[in-house]
Chains A and B, each alone.
Chain A
Amino acid sequence: MSAVTLSGISKSYGAQRVLDSVDLHVPDGSLTAVLGPSGCGKTTLLRIVAGFVRSEAGTVSLGDRVVESPGTALAAEKRGVGYVPQEGALFPHLDVAANILYGLPRGRRSKTRLAELLDLAELPHDVARRSPHELSGGQQQRVALARALAPAPRVILLDEPFSSLDAGLRVSAGRAVRRVLRHAGATALLVTHDQGEALSLADQVAVMRAGRVVQVDSPTALYAHPVDPETATFIGGATVVSGQVRGGVALTSLGDLTVRAEDGPARVLVRPEQVRLVELAEAGVHGTVTEVSFYGAQVVVHLDLADGTPVTARGSSAHTPESGEKVGLLVEGAVVAYPESSQ
């Protein structure tokens, strides 16, 4: 396995700039998620790394080998890049065993290797003779992964691998895939539009927007310190209110909140889990509950402040208010503020 380094990658289709000088380093053995909304260019980025699409500018290196630069491009089949597309894309005319062993030279397509790969992908051995359409979505995904891992590639690329699975399966499939990748010691690049998937699975998340990488960070750093309000709202819901920062305190309609920011007008980001609902008397800020969504252990409460600002709070369902009820609001912990001028 080897690290993947992209620098200055650009690509246009006609007048549309799909990738705009993208830099990204995927450390050896790590799982990096490229997270962005549809149409942000993340799939194109993946296809450039795989060698299916040529870039217009910039270089791609696998380890210390440059595989893509303006002058040269190594053919896809020579890059040693494993590829797991959406829905797995298993070869429908081949059974599971033939799918998994497809990329191995004839001499190396042994029963032992097949057994190893099935084990690696946590698949029961009796699926080997089945046809792809006889497998569940999660199984298909793992066969696709085993197929990609079989020739021991330098890096594995996963293109929205869980998007076709239903919500319950998605989480377990994701964890299984991560386990398999860890086990194989693979360097992996995963493209997804699902922030939960990216945060829960990846060692490193690259957020893309309109053809640019706007932030690369570990999931926790990304969540705690999003680079701008757009990123912040994209990574987990958040209430953004305007305020004035004076000496480490932001004066907002949600009260005076602790921040680390320069003085001046700012937009202040408050995560739903920071908002605690209390008795009216306990807080200086009051709100009216407009909607309550009950999730068992947790509850999400939508409120309007007196000035009409909408706020979202998330907390234990032990304290579930009624719709229309007036409650007090407290914001816990430090918040993130972005100077107004930066917008």
Chain B
Amino acid sequence: MTTIRVHPRLSPALLAGIVVVGLTLIPLGYVVWETATMGPGQLHDLLWRPRVGELLGNTLKLLVTVVALTVVLGVAGAILVVRTNLGAPMLWHALLSAPLAVPAFVNSYGWVSLTSQVQSYWGAVLVVSLSYFPLVYLPVVASLATLDAAPEEVARSLGRGRARAFAGAALPRLLPGILGGALLVGLHVLAEFGALQLLGYPTFTTAIYGQYRSAFASNAGTVLSGVLVTLCILLLLVELLARGRRRYDRVGRSAGRPPEPFRLGAWRPVAWAALLGLTALSLGVPGYSLVHWLLVGSSTEFPIGDLSTALVSTLSLAAAGAVLTVLMALPLAWLAVRRRTTVSTALERAGYIANALPGIVVALALITVSIRVVPSLYQTLPVLLLAYAILFLPRALVSVRSSLEQAPPVLEDVSRSLGQSAWATLRRVTLPLVAPGIGAGAALVFLAISTELTATLLLSPIGTTTLATEFWSNSSSVRYGAAAPYALLLVLAAIPATVMLSLHARPGRASAAEIPRRMELAA
């Protein structure tokens, strides 16, 4: 029997939740407020100019092609690894997940430092797709691995051939995974700054950065931010519509038999060659480039002092940011799990709004708001940490929420009935149950912050250098050798999250509907 809990009063958790959501809404609120108060004439002039059209065209062209290409690469790779007799599936799985460990801007550096040929539309499509196709590959692998053979066998018993049976009975069940992955790729493309800047392909993010560098917090930059955020929100809506009723159609963990693998026959060497080629492009090129520049760089001097300073401040920032982010996620997750009301649902949803906020927009908004409203905080650590918390709150929320679900209230009731006070119950029951999930969430945010570039670039306080900012200052002034050690450390920092994701997507570990959410954790 379900018990309805009604809490009409403003609880501390609700209050904290409202504060957190208030903070996360600062960037969006800033963009909306600024554009709304700009005056229609100026807004029109800044919005309705060929430059915006050009950027919109560039951005959309890149978005569509990259999403299409990553879907093709991700789905084909997943089918080959999971559903065929390709051989060495674990090896290929590792190789096809591994590009996530190379941050897109490091991958671009790898390519650009070898050939300027990639500084073009198709170059940008290639490099960005190579960075992001695992975002589609992983959820599709997870879906495929949990699929039961039965529907396909039924389809075949009804007279379909193997391929048609797969297309008719299995493919539709992969759609949630594909859509989720495609959405993630889309949002990443819209928010990508570092890679596109290095690739010399102008989109909204690079233009906003250009505006910031030329004119600080200008209205032109705000208008571009507004357009970019609108694009992100539209993309989320498109995905929501496309999923439609399928949202609830979860592909469950099945205890059933896996389907028989497709026999590749003579195509097997072709498949190997194709996957080898993909791996060579996605890992080989940046890997080669990194090693090359490491060797070149070490022939001059190895800045061990600068390197360790940057490393220590990166780790400290990441730790502090992770703690803050998890603390902010706690009240929202608590309300969503334990106090389900319209208000708490709305608060939790609002926590995910950062999914639609590129780092550059968050950074720009926080700079302007802090300088105008709380000047004492301007150029200080708390603002940078807040930016991290806003950007990575969704990742923390997913983990913290699911960890709270591990601790149903009935366990607390039992503990109370056994004579334990509220505090003792928290210490002996709730905390031990939720700590692993919260720890994992904190770890994911930690790793995400260590490889964050855009917000760090704009918000890092005086004298603070991080791996990402040092990498950036070197690679953007064509000091490729000097950038290499930082690139290496950034790759190392991204490896744990990649391994975690790669393992999560193995058979039976998680349902397909969970995977896209998990992907947000690390990518």
Contacts and interface: CB of A to CB of B under 8 A. Distances in A.
Interface string A62-106: 000000000000011111111101100101110000000011000
Contacts of B3: 43-44, 47, 53
B1 A81 contact: no
Interface string B461-478: 000000000000000000
Interface string A29-47: 0000000001100111001
B4 A103 contact: no
Contact of B417 (A14, A50, A160): A50
Given A38-B1, A83-B413, A103 B419 contact: yes
Given A13-B6, A38-B1, A43-B1, A93 B433 contact: yes
A85 B418 CA distance: 13
A211 interface: no
A186 interface: no
A78 B420 CA distance: 8
Interface string B391-424: 0000000000000001010110111111111000
B281 interface: no
Nearest to B433: A93
Nearest to B420: A77
B338 to A, nearest CB: 14
Contact of A151 (B408, B410, B419): B419
Contact of B1 (A89, A92, A160): A160
A79 B417 CA distance: 7
B114 interface: no
Interface in B3-24: 3-4, 6
Given A38-B1, A89-B408, A160-B1, A50 B419 contact: no
Interface residues of A, number: 37
B353 to A, nearest CB: 31
B413 A78 contact: no
Contacts of A47: 3, 413
Contacts of A53: 3
Contacts of A38: 1
Contacts of B417: 50-51, 76-77, 79, 81-83, 148, 153, 157
B428 interface: yes
Interface in A153-177: 153, 157, 160
Nearest to B408: A89
Contact of A89 (B4, B6, B410): B410
Contacts of B420: 77, 102-103
B190 to A, nearest CB: 41
A92 B419 contact: no
Contact of B418 (A44, A151, A160): A151
A52 interface: yes
A212 interface: no
B416 A76 contact: yes
B411 A80 contact: no
A147 interface: yes
B210 interface: no
Nearest to A14: B6
A160 B411 CA distance: 16
Nearest to A78: B419
A336 B354 CA distance: 69
Contact of B414 (A14, A44, A83, A160): A83
B408 A77 contact: no
Contacts of B432: 93
B414 to A, nearest CB: 5
B429 interface: yes
Given A13-B4, A44-B3, A51 B416 contact: yes
A43 B3 CA distance: 8
Nearest to B436: A93
A258 B120 CA distance: 100
A77 B410 contact: no
A91 B419 contact: no
B: contact size bracket: 20 to 34
B62 to A, nearest CB: 47
Nearest to B415: A102
Contact of A76 (B410, B411, B413, B433): B413
Given A53-B3, A102-B428, A85 B421 contact: no
A43 B421 CA distance: 23
A86 B409 CA distance: 12
A236 to B, nearest CB: 23
B448 to A, nearest CB: 28
B247 to A, nearest CB: 28
Contacts of A103: 418-420
Nearest to A163: B1
Contacts of B419: 77-78, 80, 103, 151
A292 to B, nearest CB: 36
A164 B68 CA distance: 48
A153 B6 CA distance: 29
Interface in A253-283: none
Q: Which of A14, A47, A83, A86 has the most CB of B within 10 A?
A: A83
A78 B410 CA distance: 17
B6 A85 contact: no
Contact of A91 (B413, B416, B421, B429): B429
A81 B415 CA distance: 11
A38 B429 CA distance: 29
Q: Which of A76, A102, A148, A160 has the most CB of B within 10 A?
A: A76
Contacts of A76: 413, 416-417
B416 A102 contact: no
Interface in B129-161: none
B413 A77 contact: no
B51 to A, nearest CB: 56
A85 B1 contact: no
B433 A50 contact: no
A76 B415 CA distance: 9
Contacts of B411: 89, 91
Nearest to A105: B419
A150 B417 CA distance: 12
Contacts of B4: 13
A42 B3 CA distance: 11
B340 to A, nearest CB: 14
Contacts of A89: 408, 410-411, 414
A132 to B, nearest CB: 11
Contacts of A160: 1
A40 to B, nearest CB: 9
B433 A92 contact: yes
Contacts of B428: 102
A159 B6 CA distance: 21
Given A76-B413, A89-B408, A91-B429, A102 B418 contact: yes
B431 to A, nearest CB: 10
Contacts of A14: 6
A107 to B, nearest CB: 14
Given A77-B418, A102-B420, A102-B428, 8 more contacts: A13-B4, A79-B417, A89-B408, A91-B414, A92-B406, A92-B433, A144-B414, A151-B419
Interface of A: 13-14, 38-39, 42-44, 47, 50-53, 75-83, 85-86, 89, 91-93, 102-103, 144, 147-148, 150-151, 153, 157, 160
Question: 7 tightest A-B contacts by CB?
Answer: A103-B418, A83-B417, A76-B416, A43-B1, A89-B410, A77-B416, A93-B432
Interface of B: 1, 3-4, 6, 406, 408, 410-411, 413-421, 428-429, 432-433
25 contacts: A13-B6, A42-B1, A43-B3, A44-B3, A51-B417, A76-B416, A77-B417, A77-B418, A77-B419, A77-B420, A78-B419, A82-B417, A82-B418, A85-B410, A85-B414, A86-B410, A91-B415, A102-B415, A102-B418, A102-B420, A103-B418, A147-B418, A150-B418, A153-B417, A160-B1
